[in-house]
Amino acid sequence: MSELRGVVGYFDDPDALRAGIDHFNGIRGMRPEVYTPIPDMSAIYALNPSTSGVRWFSLVGGLSGIAAALAMTIWMSWDYPVIVGGKPITSLPPYLVVAFELMVLFGSIASVIGFLFMSRLPDLTPSDAYRPPMGVDRFALYLACSDETERGRAAGELLAAGATETVDIHHAGLGRLQVNQ
Amino acid sequence: MHEHTHQNAPNGEAYRKVTDDVLRPMQSYSLGWMAGVAFCAFLILVGAISEGYQLKYGMGMSGLMHPMMWAVYITNFVWWIGIAHSGTLISAFLFLFRAPFRAAFSRASEAMTLFAVMTAGLFPLIHLGRPWRAYWLMPYPNERMLWINFRSALVLDVFAVTTYFIVSTLFFWLGLIPDVAVVRDRSKGWKRTIYGLLSVGWEGRGKQWRHYWMAYSVLACLAAPLVVSVHSVVSWDFASAIVPGWHSTISAPYFVAGAILSGLAMVLTLLIPLRKNLALQEYITIDRMEQIAKLTLLMSMVVGYSYLSEHFMTLYGREPSDLADLWNKVRGTWASPFWAMNFCNVIAPLILFWRPARRNIPTLFVVSIIINIGMWLERFNIIAGSLARDYNPYAWAPTFYHFRPVEVGITLGSLGWFMFFFLLFTKFLPVLPIAELKRDILLEHREDIAIEEAHEHPRVPGGVKPAEATES
């Protein structure tokens, strides 16, 4: 038998999952990982109420976009100064359009990079606990453990939290893009 | 839509059904679909041959001639950009407002945006005549170390459209990730590799959802004003010139309203056959179609108001060249497209005030096609029609524009190009957002529970209100 990694508890529906998360919020030292096919944010934030750090990536990206656009337009205009239509070399109104577009562009790209970085993605090797039904219709909490004592406690707590079934998770040793059946 | 008791939240079966229903069309290739793809490929070939002919013999093969040096190609560009508008608009705005009918349309309209921008982007290159010089629009030191002119609306347009394309692609891909992960898990071989790469290892963990939700919300916040900015910038391509019929401060909101109208019409044109052919009537319901029809009616009236406002200002200002342009459109050589445009965009959609028409699919389809035609005519009127009456009467075009075969061929090719990608999308990607549909089922259930509780305890001060109970 391969190495024990943890225990997964399956719940009937999102409400049961939410109740299970509330159960673990009352237990110190036990932080389960949620697996859900639905973005039920009330449940997800119940487990980890802090706001995602992605927004800082967005802010920095957006500000970088503005700075890059203004630097580019102003510097390029002065690098070869040509008066067009009697306007000043630094004509801010049209440059602000470029600044807005690059703010959106850099902010969006930074948000996606932030999401990938904070979520530790891309990661093409599936985790030991993940099973395809978790993307479709199964709601689960996963507790990592390494020995039989911990396993027994984790399974007991998962059942007490309302799990209808618990399954031991062993190291699968899967390669990239393989699927745990 | 979904049967469930009010005691327990919908269980796995309801969610499995959504997944199976949405992914079913991806499992087989119907004869009709293959015929559609083949026909689109034929249209692309027609467009490619026409463009090749034009490249070989020059722009004289098109109908472009002084004073109408902008005509069909720029009309097509603005028309496709307009169509591209509503996709991100529907998706981003309805997401931010938490509109319950968003899921029925968002994915298909985002795909529409992407393919329409890809199509629109071809036309400035075609219109250049020498597309291999397109890189001159990029900020690099060209002739004598001269940089591009950032005061030009055309340069601003390059930034706006490029940004719109990249942000729309990111928004579309981000929305796809959880759904494509399901497809990955059900695929084998090369399909698993492609869907696996697209889903970047998504597993639906709590941490992933938390960051995903924030990134998606930020992208929606950024995309919503971007939608407005892009078509405003497109309008400045014209408004910053002094051509009568172009030089108007109303252009930006007028163009944005027109773009939304044409985008909504194209959403209807695409979704009506899609819901039937992919058997998705349970998700894209008549009620949802009616909501889009109401939005279409609203935008049609905004566009009608814009037309009236523009003509009023011309009459009120009494500037001779503006009046000449207006009379040429009202009763001159451009009267036919002008009145056809008004009928298509302002008169015909009024039938949507009648509820049975809004809920009748063939009527909606016909109205959407009429609006699509009307919006093309609107852009053609603005672009070529206004150029036909410039400041200099000596240069006035004596006749209507002469369409040439290469222009027709390239326009048909662009329709084939757009539909080709859309048909591929319907077969290789989930056409509805599966995770969001499941969330809607859950929120609907929670709202039902909240309403039941409110009925059971009507006098409890500060009792749970449905809105508080449902939204996270």
DSSP B165-203: HHHHHHHHHHHHHHHHHHHHHT--HHHHHHHHHHHTT--
- A105, pLDDT greater than 70: yes
pLDDT tens-digit readout, B431-452: 999 999 999 888 888 888 888 8
pLDDT at B421: 97
- The percent of residues above 90 in pLDDT, for chain B, comes to 74
Work out the pLDDT band at B340, boundaries 50, 70, 90. Answer: very high
A102 touches chain B (CB under 8 A): yes
- B391, pLDDT greater than 60: yes
Q: Cβ–Cβ of B12/A41 closer than 8 Å?
A: no
Pair of tokens at residue A157? 């707590």
pLDDT at A8: 94
Residues listed for chain B: 472
Chain A with chain B: Cβ pairs closer than 8 A: 227
Q: How many helices (H) and strands (E) does chain B have?
A: 18, 0
A92 touches chain B (CB under 8 A): no
User: Residue B317: how many CB atoms within 10 A of its CB?
Assistant: 9
pLDDT at B138: 85
Would the ipTM clear 0.90, i.e. be above it? Answer: yes
- B353, pLDDT greater than 50: yes
The CA distance from A75 to the nearest CA of chain B, in Å, is 10
Tell me which chain B residues have a C-beta less than 8 angstroms from the C-beta of A55. 214, 218
A64 touches chain B (CB under 8 A): no
pLDDT at B5: 42
pLDDT at B462: 52
**Region A3-31: what's the mean pLDDT?**
89
**Region A118-126: what's the mean pLDDT?**
93
In this structure, are residues A55 and A178 in contact, taking their beta carbons and an 8 Å threshold? no
Tell me which chain A residues have a C-beta less than 8 angstroms from the C-beta of B12. 12-13, 133, 136-138
A residues 135..174 contacting B (CB < 8 A) = 135-138
- The percent of residues above 70 in pLDDT, for chain B, comes to 95
In this structure, are residues A52 and B213 in contact, taking their beta carbons and an 8 Å threshold? yes
Tell me which chain A residues have a C-beta less than 8 angstroms from the C-beta of B91. none
Phi, psi of A116 (to 5 degrees): -65, -40
**Region A131-142: what's the mean pLDDT?**
93
- The percent of residues above 70 in pLDDT, for chain A, comes to 99
- B339, pLDDT greater than 90: yes
- B105, pLDDT greater than 90: no
- B8, pLDDT greater than 70: no
pLDDT tens-digit readout, B263-297: 999 999 999 999 999 999 999 999 999 999 999 99
Sign of CA dihedral B463, B467, B469, B472: negative
User: Residue A115: how many CB atoms within 10 A of its CB?
Assistant: 27
DSSP letter for each residue of chain A: -PPEEEEEEEESSHHHHHHHHHHHHTSTT--PEEE-SS--HHHHHHH--SPPTHHHHHHHHHHHHHHHHHHHHHHHHHHS----TT--SS-HHHHHHHHHHHHHHHHHHHHHHHHHHHTT----SPPSS--GGGGTT-EEEEEE--SHHHHHHHHHHHHHTT-SEEEEEE-----TT----
CA atoms of B110 and B425, how far apart (whole Å): 11
Instruction: Please provide the distance, in angstroms rounded to a whole number, between the alpha carbons at the two ends of chain A.
Output: 17
CA atoms of B67 and A123, how far apart (whole Å): 58
Which of A13, A82, A91 to probe by mutation at the B interface, max B CB count within 10 Å? A13
What pTM does this model have? 0.92
In this structure, are residues B185 and A137 in contact, taking their beta carbons and an 8 Å threshold? no
- B84, pLDDT greater than 80: yes
pLDDT at B449: 83
Question: A70-95 burial, b for 16+ CB within 10 Å, e for fewer?
Answer: bebbbebbeeeeeeeeeeeeebeebb
What is the pLDDT of chain A when averaged over all its residues? 91
- Name the 3-class secondary structure at B205: strand
CA atoms of B39 and B444, how far apart (whole Å): 42
pLDDT at B9: 66
Q: Cβ–Cβ of A80/B147 closer than 8 Å?
A: yes
**Between B468 and B424, the higher pLDDT residue:** B424
- B461, pLDDT greater than 70: no
* List of residues 6+ apart from B317 with CB closer than 8 A: none
Phi-psi category of residue B177: left, alpha or beta, with phi > 0 → left and psi -120 to 50 → alpha: alpha
User: Residue A156: how many CB atoms within 10 A of its CB?
Assistant: 12
Q: Name the β-bridge partners of A10.
A: A140, A165
CA atoms of B118 and B302, how far apart (whole Å): 27
User: Residue B99: how many CB atoms within 10 A of its CB?
Assistant: 14
| Chain A residue whose CA is closest to B198 | A122
CA atoms of B173 and A177, how far apart (whole Å): 19
Question: B23-40 burial, b for 16+ CB within 10 Å, e for fewer?
Answer: bebbeeeeeebeebbeeb
* Least CB–CB distance from B207: residue in A37, A109, A119: A119
Work out the pLDDT band at A1, boundaries 50, 70, 90. Answer: low
User: Residue B354: how many CB atoms within 10 A of its CB?
Assistant: 11
pLDDT at B315: 95
**Region B400-412: what's the mean pLDDT?**
95
pLDDT at A146: 83
Q: What is the CA radius of gyration of chain A?
A: 25
CA atoms of B434 and A107, how far apart (whole Å): 27
pLDDT at B1: 41
Question: B407-439 burial, b for 16+ CB within 10 Å, e for fewer?
Answer: bebbbbbbbbbbbbbbbebbbebbbbbbbbbbb
- B6, pLDDT greater than 50: no
- B357, pLDDT greater than 70: yes
Tell me which chain B residues have a C-beta less than 8 angstroms from the C-beta of A33. 205-207
Angle at A100 between CA A95 and CA A105, to 5 degrees: 125
pLDDT tens-digit readout, B164-184: 999 999 999 999 999 999 999
What is the pLDDT of chain B when averaged over all its residues? 90
Work out the pLDDT band at A21, boundaries 50, 70, 90. Answer: very high
In this structure, are residues A165 and A116 in contact, taking their beta carbons and an 8 Å threshold? no
pLDDT at B458: 65
User: Residue B297: how many CB atoms within 10 A of its CB?
Assistant: 20
Q: Where are the beta strands (DSSP E) in B274-363?
A: none
- B10, pLDDT greater than 80: no
In this structure, are residues B280 and B104 in contact, taking their beta carbons and an 8 Å threshold? no
